[in-house]
Structure 1
Amino acid sequence: MRASQTLFLLLWFFCIYAPTSFSTNVTYDHRALVIDGKRRVLVSGSIHYPRSTPEMWPDIIQKSKDGGLDVIETYVFWNLHEPVRGQYNFEGRADLVKFVKTVAAAGLYVHLRIGPYACAEWNYGGFPVWLHFIPGIQFRTDNKPFKDEMKRFTAKIVDMMKKENLYAPQGGPIILSQIENEYGNVDEHYGPAGKSYIKWAGSMATSLDTGVPWVMCQQADAPDPIINACNGFYCHQFKPNSNSKPKMFTENWSGWFLGFGGPVPYRPVEDLAFSVARFYQLGGTFNNYYMYHGGTNFGRTSGGPFISTSYDYDAPIDEYGIVRQPKWGHLKDLHKAIKLCEEAMIATDPTISSLGSNIEAAVYKTGSACAAFLANNNDKSDENVTFNGNSYHVPAWSVSILPDCKNVVHNTAKINVASTTSSFTTESLKEKTGSSGDSSTGWSWITEPVGISKTDSFTKFGLVEQLNTTGDRSDYLWYSLSIDLDAGTKTDLQIESLGHALHAFINGKFAGSGTGTKNKAAIKVDIPVTLVAGKNTIDLLSLTVGLKNYGAFYDLRGAGITGPVTLKSLNNGSSLDLSSKTWTYQIGLKGDFGPSSGSSGQWNSQSNLPTNQPLIWYKTNFIAPSGKEPVAFNMTGMGKGEAWVNGQSIGRYWPTNIAPNEGCTDPCNYRGSYHASKCLRNCGKPSQLLYHVPRSWLRPEGNTLVLFEETGGNPKQISFAIRQIESASSHKSASPLPHKVLSCFQGASSNRAALDEAIVELDYQGDPCEGVTKSLAVEASCA
């Protein structure tokens, strides 16, 4: 029997996903997406392929399916795929085709959000920086150079998917695509040219003939036939711009992103489930979690300004690919309950009625099918309500789901899943026997020169803006100036910068730093310095921490030391403005030892390891921790910089950037409207200490770790953090029906008469033993 079942599954997979497979017709009407002539209630989740690795994809996608998802959504990241104009990258984490095929192999659909503007807390919003330098270009408006480039890239992605037979009409998994992204939030700033641009974008997308519907989120005037959809923490009140379009939720934010210097945001699952249930209650048929798995911002060109390397997002599947409980399990139960209502939901529109103050019922009823949602929108008081002659207890800020209009199978505030706690064990870095380096520490190092050290430096009158100068080829830009003084003096060096951080050196010695924040990138510093008689060298290292990714005209937001730069209160009481002097500039660092470890002769290992010094490269060889559990580096002791393992960048690290002491709420009351700063953890601590190292990047031994330390640290304090299987805690709330009963309900739902006889309405405020007895009776009747 098992062999025949396996053969059947293999044949089924071949028939569905082989290039010669049957086509799938995807359209829509006012209620839902229509797949092969049938309306569907769909649950979707965002997984961004470059924020994990190809080796992680199958497990993450399978866990998404096990959690009740039908669809996997991802952006397509233009700057990842075309870092240089006309030179493409679709390998490794950028293998978009492989990712889509992996989703297909799991039996799930795909929503491909081509954009190509993504936002996504991604560097430059996903645009390649070379786009900025095309003559006459203006981003995201009715501008021919921009539209030509946007159409060229969008068409390339569509053509690539078509060649692999990945659109639904070809038998593939892609049932939706998106063009543009959240333009409605900024379009008023672009005026009439923005309106005509959106019409052009819709027309351009549909002309590519994908055979599937296109979506624009946050775009109230999305032109027909483009579906306009909603993003936010809640979208139950959202209405499409046409009575012929379905109600879609493209981004239901499962948490929020972490920024360097901030506390860790999280969203209670009771509130997230409330948002989802309210959306389906009031006519929605497509909900997408942003994110379902957040992942990691590997490399310096992933995260946007001050965005941490971790993009965990408090998602149902955490950064390391482990399910987060109770969030994953509670949402899984919710999805089961919603699917029980699908027959009624796709047949008709809901009938909405009030059952009292802040109590709202929605009923889907047609023929023999009936489903109801009872919502208590009060954020303080539980309510007992009467519906169809029966009494129901509905907790504050919750939705009860009745797939037969009689029996509650799920309430969004009642969790029947054990919580789990994140657990890491610490292991020291073990040096490979016989490796090069200081025998006492295992580390070798190279000092990065202060100031100008490369032959491609250049001089220019005045101060330059950083992005236009570097083209984002590096985080770093040196500004160097020599001045002569008749006598030595103590003075203040005043510097103004557009951001994101800077370090000042006087005559080769570190003098001071300045750092912006996620909310305010600009910097003003006043650094006391001592100058000598004669020649003095002022070297300023300006750096970016990801480029702007959101807002109107964000591509014009600058960076770097644009001035003024002033020496205040010299010996004679005067001030000297240095801004208009002739400066020497150098893009990037002399060392480039991250992707390659450099020749062994360059690395110093013959003296004591220098620590707590700025501008230094470190290298060590190490043995990978045994086992298969996820691994991270605990960067305690380091300042700020970037790390590479075997040539792969694990991203920027910044453990010295500490979150404010105030504002955290752990635990957090889920009742009431959620916002990004409502529920916070980790106040007064480093925003991020642990930095994910994918197992696939590690060898059993002979691994190389390279660091560029910018401000000063001690690499001997770095250790491994090994993710352990989480242990369940006893904290869970009562659920309307146990898991077995919910499964029984699902199995018996086709026999509505027998089910009505078997299930007795449970009184959750009554005798718990009586409730258990009734539940067992239900199980017995379905056995």
Structure 2
Amino acid sequence: MNIFNILFTVFIFSFILFHSKALNVTHDSRSIIIDGNHRIILSGSIHYPRSTAQMWSDLIRKAKEGGLDAVETYVFWNAHEPARRQYDFSGNLDLIRFLKTVQDQGLMQFFELDLIPVRSGIMEKLFASQGGNIILAQVENEYGNVMEPYGDDGKSYINWCAQMADSFDIGVPWIMCQQAAPPKPTFKSWGGAYPFRTAEDLAYSYHGGTNCGRTSGGPYITTTYDYNAPLDEYGNLNQPTWGHLKELHDVLHSIEYTLTNGEVKNEKLSNLVMATIYETKEKSSCFLSNTNTKIVQMSASEALITLFQHGLLVSFQIAGRKHIIPLRQTPFFCFVSAQTSLMVKKLNKAEDEPSSLKWMWRPELIESASVQGRRDVSLNKIVDQKDMANDATDYLWYMTSIDVAKDDPVLNGTVTLCVNDTGHVLHAFFNGEYIGSQWSKYVSLLDLVGAGITSPIELVLNKNVFKDLSSNKWTYKVGLNGISNKFFNTDCASKSSSRWISDPILVYKNFAWYKVSCSSIIS
């Protein structure tokens, strides 16, 4: 599997100002401090490999118009170094181009980085201390979720990460990420129910995008990373989420000085309602929160007397949702008045749009490619799939043979093939014939338990009669015939078009490649 996991670094790139002079970026318990001024930095995630390079400028422009101050991105190191010392910064992996695109739009940046990106950022003078727009850097991403099983080694590793990061002296603050309980589900399979997040509840990924190639994490995980974000998978405004958050961002910007410089105090009101008040000599702002799970009816005298004394902004959290209402003639934001209907997308019915898609298919050449004995490696043991395939593909063939005497008991009954497997799915063949498939159970910490087939592998007649095949001579073949011959490339069709079949189109067929084409796509 090839998952977008990042051990080091996040960049925050900010839109608030576009500058060429060096900035002093620090922080205290209240906020980020830029050149001595406390700032509220509203940041959203835009992950550069999850869109095309041609989309970046438009995505960043819409994020800025939506009220963001900064863009955050991981550095997808598994994409940049797919094999040891083989680097790729081309196309939508052109990290420096992405950072400069954010800078050209006048935004700041929050960056999760690694060794080479740090050095490249320093050389290109992209950090705020050099006059660039990178104001924060993150040294690891959610490593705390998996660190505990490694004991002292895990602690040593994270300490090494911190020391390595600090040694670069990039002139902006480093932060770390610790998330003990990530929300579930962590991924969505193809064909499963699509989880929807309302505009009130979502404020993480500003543009999710698409996990291209194998980067979704496995062959049965959908490639979409849409996230119901303010910008949808294809970069379009996702209303009402985009507009809803823009209004909230505008309100927060309007009271930035009060929130970052005001004196803070809490007042308990009736019915478990708490008022949090930010107050300076010039003005004040107030947030009301209700810890009840039910709607609370507050007396007008209590609320209005207290809040008129302090009031620029009032925020209510009623029945689990936050609501901000105006006092006097002040800016306000109200969750309860947000549009709750969903935006319905309809198919484009333009007359010049192709009326149908052209589908073709071709079979995977299983017999000649694998089952009949073509192989890459032979060993007298079961090898971990990651070690054998080296992350070049999600598919690995395991092949062995067994000699059975005429009087062997396994010939006189129904034999079950029992396999321990941590892969997504196992397909089994006997004497070149397909005999069935089976899903595996999900396990975590694959670096500890291994990937793919593990011992024992047994032919079982009953609890007393079985054959353990684990120590047999096993031959391995990495990948599929279609992957080796790049069936997925557009120029592959012209080289072997006779093998693609257009009529009839077989569905629900194992080990088949499908291709669809159309003359144009109307935006």
TM-score (norm 1): 0.56
Is the CA contact 1:76–1:112 (under 8 Å) kept in the aligned structure 2? yes
Distance 1:618 1:340, change over 3 A: closer
Is the CA contact 1:343–1:369 (under 8 Å) kept in the aligned structure 2? no
**Is 1:299 aligned with 2:213?**
yes
Is the CA contact 1:372–1:405 (under 8 Å) kept in the aligned structure 2? no
Distance 2:337 2:169 in 1: 46
User: Can you list the C-alpha shifts for 1:314-350, whole angstroms capped at 9, x where unaligned?
Assistant: 2222112122222221111111111121121121342
1:389 is matched with which residue?
Answer: 305
Within the candidate set 430, 444, 468, 1:577 is matched to 468
Give the stretch that moved more between structures: 412-421 or 209-218.
412-421
**Is 1:564 aligned with 2:456?**
yes
Within the candidate set 415, 421, 432, 1:497 is matched to 421
Distance 1:616 1:399 in 2: 50
Distance 1:354 1:423, change over 3 A: farther
C-alpha displacement of 1:409: 1.3
Amino acid of the residue matched to residue 467 of structure 1?
Answer: K
**What SS does the corresponding residue of 2:227 show, helix, strand or coil?**
coil
1:443 is matched with which residue?
Answer: 360
C-alpha displacement of 1:270: 2.7
**Is 1:604 aligned with 2:523?**
no
% same residue: 41
1:211 is matched with which residue?
Answer: 171
Distance 1:624 1:453 in 2: 42
**Is 1:266 aligned with 2:189?**
no
Amino acid of the residue matched to residue 340 of structure 1?
Answer: S
User: Can you list the C-alpha shifts for 1:75-129, whole angstroms capped at 9, x where unaligned?
Assistant: 0011111112222111111011111111112221110012xxxxxxxxxxxxxxx
Amino acid of the residue matched to residue 473 of structure 2?
Answer: T
Q: How does 1:210-609 map to 2 (within 5 A)?
A: 210-218=170-178, 257-260=187-190, 262-272=192-202, 289-303=203-217, 307-385=221-299, 386-387=302-303, 389=305, 394=316, 395-401=318-324, 407=330, 409-416=332-339, 419-425=342-348, 429-430=356-357, 443=360, 445-450=362-367, 451-452=370-371, 456-485=375-404, 486=406, 490-516=414-440, 520-521=441-442, 554-569=446-461, 574-591=465-482, 592=484, 593=486, 594-595=488-489, 597=492, 600-601=495-496, 603-604=498-499, 609=504
Give the stretch that moved more between structures: 610-619 or 362-371.
610-619
Amino acid of the residue matched to residue 263 of structure 1?
Answer: A
**What SS does the corresponding residue of 1:411 show, helix, strand or coil?**
coil
Is the CA contact 1:383–1:396 (under 8 Å) kept in the aligned structure 2? no
User: Can you list the C-alpha shifts for 1:409-462, whole angstroms capped at 9, x where unaligned?
Assistant: 12233315764123345865555xxxxxxxxxx736354123346855222223
Distance 2:315 2:177 in 1: 36
Q: How does 1:610-759 map to 2 (within 5 A)?
A: 611-612=506-507, 613-619=509-515, 622-625=518-521, 627=522, 629=523
Distance 1:454 1:504, change over 3 A: closer
Distance 1:471 1:556, change over 3 A: farther
2:52 is matched with which residue?
Answer: 53
Distance 1:483 1:189, change over 3 A: closer
C-alpha displacement of 1:576: 2.7
**What SS does the corresponding residue of 1:332 show, helix, strand or coil?**
helix
Distance 2:67 2:502 in 1: 58
TM-score (norm 2): 0.82
Q: How does 1:32-71 map to 2 (within 5 A)?
A: 32-71=31-70
**What SS does the corresponding residue of 1:270 show, helix, strand or coil?**
coil
C-alpha displacement of 1:232: 6.6
C-alpha displacement of 1:406: 7.8
Q: Structure 1 unaligned runs (5+)?
A: 1-12, 115-153, 220-229, 234-252, 273-288, 432-441, 523-550, 630-783
Amino acid of the residue matched to residue 459 of structure 2?
Answer: L
1:704 is matched with which residue?
Answer: none
Distance 1:511 1:197 in 2: 46
1:130 is matched with which residue?
Answer: none
Distance 1:256 1:58, change over 3 A: farther
C-alpha displacement of 1:512: 0.8
1:171 is matched with which residue?
Answer: 131
Distance 1:455 1:508, change over 3 A: closer
Distance 1:256 1:374, change over 3 A: farther
Distance 1:189 1:605 in 2: 49
Is the CA contact 1:217–1:231 (under 8 Å) kept in the aligned structure 2? no
Is the CA contact 1:266–1:314 (under 8 Å) kept in the aligned structure 2? yes
**CA RMSD in angstroms, aligned pairs only:** 3.3
Distance 1:606 1:623, change over 3 A: closer
2:10 is matched with which residue?
Answer: none
Distance 2:331 2:289 in 1: 12
Give the stretch that moved more between structures: 604-613 or 357-366.
604-613
Distance 1:293 1:209 in 2: 31
Amino acid of the residue matched to residue 392 of structure 2?
Answer: R
Distance 1:298 1:59 in 2: 19
**What SS does the corresponding residue of 1:483 show, helix, strand or coil?**
coil
Distance 1:405 1:43, change over 3 A: farther
Is the CA contact 2:24–2:128 (under 8 Å) kept in the aligned structure 1? yes
C-alpha displacement of 1:374: 1.2
Alignment size in residue pairs: 483
User: Can you list the C-alpha shifts for 1:671-725, whole angstroms capped at 9, x where unaligned?
Assistant: xxxxxxxxxxxxxxxxxxxxxxxxxxxxxxxxxxxxxxxxxxxxxxxxxxxxxxx
**What SS does the corresponding residue of 1:83 show, helix, strand or coil?**
coil
C-alpha displacement of 1:557: 3.8
**What SS does the corresponding residue of 2:401 show, helix, strand or coil?**
strand
**What SS does the corresponding residue of 2:58 show, helix, strand or coil?**
helix
Distance 1:29 1:263, change over 3 A: same
User: Can you list the C-alpha shifts for 1:32-54, whole angstroms capped at 9, x where unaligned?
Assistant: 11112211011111111101111
C-alpha displacement of 1:189: 2.9
Distance 1:112 1:262, change over 3 A: same
Distance 2:141 2:466 in 1: 49
User: Can you list the C-alpha shifts for 1:544-577, whole angstroms capped at 9, x where unaligned?
Assistant: xxxxxxx7x553342212143333339x993333
2:108 is matched with which residue?
Answer: 109
**What SS does the corresponding residue of 1:55 show, helix, strand or coil?**
helix
1:710 is matched with which residue?
Answer: none
Distance 1:621 1:381 in 2: 54
Is the CA contact 1:50–1:94 (under 8 Å) kept in the aligned structure 2? yes
Amino acid of the residue matched to residue 194 of structure 1?
Answer: G
User: Can you list the C-alpha shifts for 1:731-772, whole angstroms capped at 9, x where unaligned?
Assistant: xxxxxxxxxxxxxxxxxxxxxxxxxxxxxxxxxxxxxxxxxx
Distance 2:38 2:496 in 1: 67
Distance 1:181 1:606 in 2: 46
1:181 is matched with which residue?
Answer: 141
